[in-house]
Structure 1
Amino acid sequence: MNTLKILRERENLSQVEIAEKLNITPQRYYLYEKGKRKLPVKIAKKLADYYGVTLEEIFFGD
């Protein structure tokens, strides 16, 4: 399981809900979570701020 999915599920959010918070499409978020598209630093920063974790945790896990 990857870090984005773990963090999202910890907050009981769907991919659609987190995509809305990031102002991106659910399809785009799905690609980030599955590793099929490179996660931009700008989006990673928003996720880190939202989840209260570091950028390192977003990109490299625990």
Structure 2
Amino acid sequence: MQEKNSKRMLDKERYVPYNKAVSLQQQSVQYRRLDMPPNKKLRHCRLNRGLTQREVAKAFNIVPDYYSMLERGVRTPGFKLAKKIADFYGYIVDDLFFAEAKNDMFSSEQKKI
């Protein structure tokens, strides 16, 4: 019996109301814009969750100054940290950090043609 109750609890945790799902999808599209720099995406994601830089840095076991540098665009995270941050905010690493690089690569390829 207890197993059924725990399964129901898991199902309730996975349930997302339609209006919230649509809102999350719209936010996802907004942050995937190729013309928005990764540091601005990071800042918007953090602010939308109502978190401070110190709280986010603590969640990833990094120094708050380093996270601040990421948000200012002074530093770029390694792949492992980028993956953790993208997962935390619910994005794919490429969409959050490397979309501009993809865009630049495609535009340089188009210039060759």
TM-score by length of 1: 0.87
Aligned to 2:15: none
Match of 2:91 in 1: 53
Number of residue equivalences: 61
Contiguous gaps of at least 5 residues in structure 1: none
Counterpart-to-counterpart distance in 2, 1:41 and 1:58: 12
Q: Find the structure with the greater CA-based Rg.
A: 2
Residue type matched to 2:73 in 1? G
Q: Distance in 2 between matches of 1:20 and 1:58?
A: 20
Greater relative contact order (CA < 8 Å, ≥ 6 in sequence): 1
Give 1:56 deviation, angstroms.
Answer: 1.7
* Richer in helix (by share): 2
CA distance in 1, matches of 2:68, 2:76: 11
User: 1:19–1:25: 8 Å Cα contact kept in structure 2?
Assistant: yes
The one-character-per-residue Cα deviations of 1:11-59 (angstroms, maximum 9, x if unpaired) are: 1100000000010000010011111112211111001111111112211
Following the alignment from structure 1 to structure 2, what is the Cα–Cα distance between the partners of residues 38 and 50? 17
C-alpha separation in 2, matches of 1:49 and 1:38: 17
Q: Does 1:25 align with 2:63?
A: yes
TM-score (norm 2): 0.50
Aligned-residue Cα RMSD (Å) equals: 1.5
Tell me whether 1:8 sits opposite 2:77 in the alignment. no
Identity across aligned pairs (percent)? 36
| Distance in 2, Cα, partners of 1:13 & 1:50 | 12
- Unmatched segments (≥5 aa) in structure 2: 1-38, 101-113
